[in-house]
Chain A
């Protein structure tokens, strides 16, 4: 109805403009015209709807759920929509994943977490033409309540997780409407690496994803990753609880840096300053001295390292273990490696669907491990590297490329993605590391590796105040600053050892992902503080 008016106005201004501007103007005018047309049509539709829509009670936008009534309606989960439910009339709440209208029918894909099902709205005795139109016009990602009959399908629906059935919609109500334009498309987010380039289709880069994390987290891949991560935590807790460990909570605001002062965050603390804990190390050890015997702790850990790599975050979740042992620190190694193996086994047995879902977007070889875990000594590792042509000194620390190469060599010989490297040179470990009794060049310390990347660093700690003081002096550490720590060992301390694992790294390496940000829900790094 406004079509003519708009065009007329556009023509008037045309003359004053250049040719380029003219074209642009024309396009804009056309756009406006189209928009107007659409609106007009919509209004007209509305009219006809009001006039003769027999199904007008069967669809629409529900009033905001403000808990004004409590319905006895059972909402079935999408996951449960299988052949057993066929020919039943059920209610489902789900998101509109995609919609495709085709004449008198409209296909919707309804999504709930990592599961989705095809739904069909077709003109018939239950649905009117207007209802189909309404269904087709619901914005993507809106949440809807749907009443539908479950029907068996002739051919499997390959694009959905529920392949054997589809829903024949009888009623559809919008519970929460999404804005029409999404900052990124979910399909683009789950496209396997490299595939988008070939088809010339869009892929979303990591930063855009992280900027819109809430939407990115809805993808099947993200859903699977974080379900698996929750599984890692649960398996870690369950295994340790069964071994008689006690879960402890330690303060994160501390008065002194625990591992070197350089990479620690300073926070203002009333009239003085404090630090964010780099690890619960000191507190774990104090608990051992306080007769807790075996402790673990799950909590945030902060590192102020300005390293922008694929595997560093400034805040991550640490899974820390510390335990007293009887005679040999290998009791500690065995306890930790057994815990890790239990986690790997639990993931392999209980999270197979999640692993496969992630594998669809980020293909990787399944994680392999040995039970009991393979333990190599540092000298052996160095010998393997030398045999492969790497030149390095006996007491030199492993560089990251060498770590990776050693991981590959170990994988080739033993076919395991998880192993322990024992007996590190004393010189490259922190001051509280117990020296080796036979050779002072080495120490009772160990690293654990997954897919050639370090996930855990641990050692037998010095539980003798005298030796601890000596070692601290050797490392040029101000004794005054660590007085409280050394003092805790003066009143009888059992021999003990432990280690700390980064939850995000374990998930990343288990799934064979390439960036730790993928397994951190809201990652923090030197350049990212939001969302």
Chain B
């Protein structure tokens, strides 16, 4: 691209068409890559160790996203012969979009029993929030058949809260922290500490500066996003990560920015193409 820009900085229709074509090709490539990754995942699922050795051998700083960590025992501790139920208390005034996206992704990887409840502390909840986890699973009368429970309770809480293992864990507060927890069930964090920290920092930026920040701050974040996305296809390198989910959802929540930089625009499109965000988008309508 720099080549073209050097030749004719003026907006030439041919150049623009070319650029558009390139973007389109890039996007399709990403999609293809995602599909191949998905296939690779199913192939390597039975033995996660192999996957790990491969990455260490190749000295790649990034592990492949979406590894098949079907072995929940290693992630969540020993199995007690009962459903592992994740309980999330959320305020209906602020629906946690990132968690809904992560829920949809969890459903692709595990057998998840999802249920939505309304706590007695809130009286009226909009109907779209009651069905925000999708249709009820046909087997939902048999709780033992599921690997994970995802229980969303609409409740009058000042801060989103997750309760999981009440004997060993204190309740986790804040949507961003719960998102981090859920994402680890889907894929391990990058093994490179710098990259892992980068993901974390993007998540913080999304929740504190995009959602709660002023217009000025938001514009600054958009500029930062743009420059980051100029360097790599996703926010934390070549792999789709929690950073992308959090930033995308927070942009969605604050409404479309008045002027979106080109890289951000391309990235937003790419996110949409993944199909994870459809439910969240529906919810905002």
**A370-B153, A414-B151, A415-B155 known; A386 vs B80 contact (CB < 8 Å):** yes
Q: How far is the CB of B52 from chain A (nearest CB, A)?
A: 30
When the two chains form the complex, which single residue of A328, A370, A377, A387 contacts B143, counting CB atoms closer than 8 Å? A377
User: Which bucket holds chain B's interface residue count?
Assistant: 20 to 34
| B80 and A409 contacting across the interface, CB-CB below 8 Å | no
B98 within 8 Å of A by Cβ?
no
| Pairwise interchain contact B117-A371, C-beta atoms closer than 8 A | yes
Interface residues of B in 155-169 (CB under 8 A from A): 155, 163, 165-167
Flag whether B81 is at the interface (Cβ < 8 A): yes
- A379 within 8 Å of B (CB atoms): yes
Given contacts A344-B120, A371-B117, A388-B167, contact A414 B80 (CB under 8 A): no
Q: Identify which of A372, A386, A409, A414 contacts B87 (C-beta below 8 A).
A: A414
User: Is B121 interfacial (CB 8 A cutoff)?
Assistant: yes
In the complex, whether B89 has a CB less than 8 A from a CB of chain A is yes
The answer, yes or no, to whether B72 is at the interface (CB within 8 Å) is no
A375 to B113, CA, bound (A): 12
Bound Cα distance A382, B144 (Å):
13
Name the A residues within 8 Å of B151 (CB-CB): 414
Asked if B144 and A377 make an inter-chain contact with CB atoms under 8 angstroms apart, the answer reads yes
| Contact pick for B118, options A371, A379, A413, CB 8 Å | A371
The answer to whether B121 and A380 touch across the interface, beta carbons within 8 angstroms, is no
Q: Are B82 and A383 in contact (CB under 8 A)?
A: yes
Interface contact B82-A368, CB-CB below 8 Å: no
Q: How large is the interface on A (under 10, 10 to 19, 20 to 34, 35 or more residues)?
A: 20 to 34
Cβ–Cβ contact B82 & A384, under 8 A: yes
Complex contact A372–B143 (CB within 8 A): no
B121 surroundings in chain A (CB, below 8 A): 368
Question: CB distance B166 to A370 under 8 Å?
Answer: no
Tell me if A348 counts as interface (CB < 8 A to partner B): yes
Q: By the criterion CB–CB under 8 Å, are B80 and A383 in contact?
A: yes
Q: CA separation between A372 and B117, bound complex, in Å?
A: 6
How long is the Cα–Cα vector from A427 to B195 in the complex, in angstroms? 56
A142 shortest CB reach to chain B, Å: 43
Compute how far the CA of A413 lies from the CA of B170 in the bound complex, rounded to whole angstroms. Answer: 11
Choice from A372, A383, A416 contacting B81 with Cβ under 8 Å: A383
Contacts of B115 in A (CB 8 A): 372
- Scan residues 179-194 of chain A and give those whose CB is less than 8 A from a CB of chain B: none
Say if the beta carbon of A330 comes within 8 Å of chain B: yes
Chain B residues contacting A253 (CB-CB under 8 Å) are none
Check if B278 is an interface residue, CB within 8 A of chain A.
Answer: no
- Tell whether B228 is near chain A: CB-to-CB under 8 Å: no
Hey, which chain A residues are within 8 Å of B89, CB to CB? 415
Which B residues are in CB contact (< 8 Å) with A409? 166
In the bound complex, what is the Cα–Cα distance between A415 and B165 (angstroms)?
14
Is there contact, CB below 8 Å, between B120 and A369?
Answer: yes
Q: Flag if B83 contacts A380 (CB, 8 Å).
A: yes
Is residue B137 within 8 Å, beta carbon to beta carbon, of the partner chain? no
Residue picked from B82, B119, B141, B153, most chain A C-beta under 10 Å? B82
Contact of B141 among A330, A369, A386, A414 (CB under 8 A): A330
Of B121, B143, B165, the most chain A CB neighbours within 10 A belong to: B143
If A330-B141, A380-B83, A409-B166 are given as contacts, then 13 extra A-B residue pairs at C-beta distance below 8 Å, sorted by A number, are A328-B141, A348-B120, A370-B153, A371-B117, A377-B82, A380-B82, A382-B82, A412-B163, A413-B85, A414-B153, A415-B153, A415-B155, A416-B119
List, sorted by A's number, 21 A–B pairs whose CB atoms are closer than 8 Å: A328-B141, A367-B120, A368-B119, A369-B119, A370-B117, A370-B118, A371-B117, A374-B117, A376-B143, A377-B144, A379-B82, A380-B143, A383-B80, A386-B80, A387-B165, A387-B167, A388-B167, A412-B166, A413-B166, A414-B163, A416-B119
